[in-house]
Each structure stands twice: as structure tokens, then as C-alpha cells.
Amino acid sequence: MKVKDNAQAGMPGEDRIGKRIVGFLLGTRWGIFFLFFVVFSMLTLPPIIYSWGVFFPESKDIKHRKVKFIYKAAGKGDYVPGIDISGREEYFGCKKQAGLHHYCINDKELYKKYKGDSLERDRFETWKGKDAEISWFNQPVYFFSEQRRLIELIVDGVVVIPAENVRRVIDENRENWVNDLAFYLICLLIFSLVFNEFIAGNFIRSIKDDL
């Protein structure tokens, strides 16, 4: 009976501690900022970190297929290349990190001549249904997630997306990690100020009665 009584006596204290923690996290600006910081960091930092660790693959890690070329839209303004294997479709990503657009052509001079998404769409439509050889590797982009990253595309015997373009993008992305980190910190600062000024106060007032 004493053990039971002691256990029961301890429950209100534990309940008060839990309420204090919840009260801090949801009832103060610093607590809400901490939650926001954790969520924002989990969404934005891992893709940046994963992209820093990407190197152009060795020959043994590169996969190849020779089939018919296809493509599809992958969100607003995005188009990704694919292949048709006896009616089974497989598609390949061109993102340098999760959350960004698929830039598959990887030719800065060509992008200057086109507006919006027309470059990928127009080129892919021209190549659709033709014999193609595609090379790719599996690139981790987030926790337990990876993309089949396009390396090289050959259509009708002509190299239309060379591996050197992809190598350059991978190397530039890894070398520019300072810029990516600075951009992340600036976004975090701006979002935190906006969140704290316009959202946190209203949120705190709305839940005070429930704590």
C-alpha cells in the first residue's frame, strides 16, 4: 500500500513538470521559436548536408540502360527524363539537392536563351520515343531517401546531356557549401522574425486557456 501511495503521490508532480515543459514550448516565444527552429532545420539542413557529401561516382557505381526515351512533368515547371522498359516506366532526377528544381540539361548558355521551363520540355519532346542510352547513379538526398541521378543521356547515338555537365554541377555544389549555409541562416533569421512577430503572439494567446 505504501508503494502504491508513493507512486500515486508522485504523479501530480510529474504532471506539473510535463505541463511546465508544454507551457514553455507552446506558451512562450522562446519555446515556440525552439520548436520552429527544430522543424525548419530538419526540413532544410539535411538536403544541404547530403548534397555536400555527393561526389561524382566511380565507374562501378554507374548504371546504364539502352531503351526508348520518355519524359514526364514532375511538379510545376519541372520535367524529368525516363525510359520505357517493355511498358514499365522508370524516371530519373536531376536535382542537386532535395527541394530544388530538376535542371537536367545543365547548360548555362542554353538556359539563357529559354524562358521558364521551355528548355527541358522542348528538348525532351524532341527526343521522345527515340532510342536512348541513359546513365545514372543512386544519390542519397534525405533520410532513407534517394534519387536516381541522371549522369549522361545519349539519343540516337548523339550525346545530348554529357556527363561532364553533371560532374561540374556536383563539384560546384560541393564547393559552394558556404553560400548554401549562409542562405540557410538568412532564411532562418527572416522566417524566425516573421514567425515571432506575426504568428507566435497570436498562437500563445489562443492556447493559454488550455494549459
Question: Per residue in 59-94, pLDDT tens?
Answer: 999 999 999 999 998 877 788 999 988 888 999 988
Residues 115 and 150 occupy one common structural domain: yes
In angstroms, the CA 112 to CA 105 distance is 12
Q: Record the cell numbers describing residue 169, joined without a space.
A: 554541377
Burial 32-56 (b: 16+ CB within 10 A, else e): beeebeeebeeebebbbebbeebeb
Give the pLDDT confidence of 93-139 residue by residue, as tens digits: 888 776 677 888 877 777 777 765 578 888 999 999 999 999 999 98
In angstroms, the CA 11 to CA 19 distance is 12
Give the Cβ contact number of residue 25 at 10 Å. Answer: 14
Residues 15 and 84 occupy one common structural domain: no
Residues 77 and 157 occupy one common structural domain: yes
Residues 162 and 195 occupy one common structural domain: no
In angstroms, the CA 47 to CA 175 distance is 15
Residues 160 and 66 occupy one common structural domain: yes
Residues 165 and 189 occupy one common structural domain: no
Once rounded to an integer, what is the mean pLDDT over residues 12-36? 66
In angstroms, the CA 160 to CA 191 distance is 41
Residue corresponding to grid cell 507512486 = 7
Once rounded to an integer, what is the mean pLDDT over residues 186-190? 81
Element (H, E) at 77: none
Residues 87 and 159 occupy one common structural domain: yes
Whether pTM > 0.85 for this model: the answer is no
CA angle at 87 for the pair 81 and 88, rounded to the nearest 5°: 60
Provide the domain limits for residue 7. 2-52+178-210
Residues 98 and 168 occupy one common structural domain: yes
Once rounded to an integer, what is the mean pLDDT over residues 18-28? 61
Secondary structure percentages of the chain, helix, strand, coil, to 5: 55, 25, 20
Residues 12 and 75 occupy one common structural domain: no
Residues 76 and 128 occupy one common structural domain: yes
Residues 74 and 38 occupy one common structural domain: no
Number of domains composing the chain: 2
Specify the pLDDT at position 66: 92
Residues 163 and 130 occupy one common structural domain: yes
Q: Do 51 and 97 meet the contact criterion of CB atoms below 8 Å apart?
A: yes
Q: Record the cell numbers describing residue 39, joined without a space.
A: 522543424
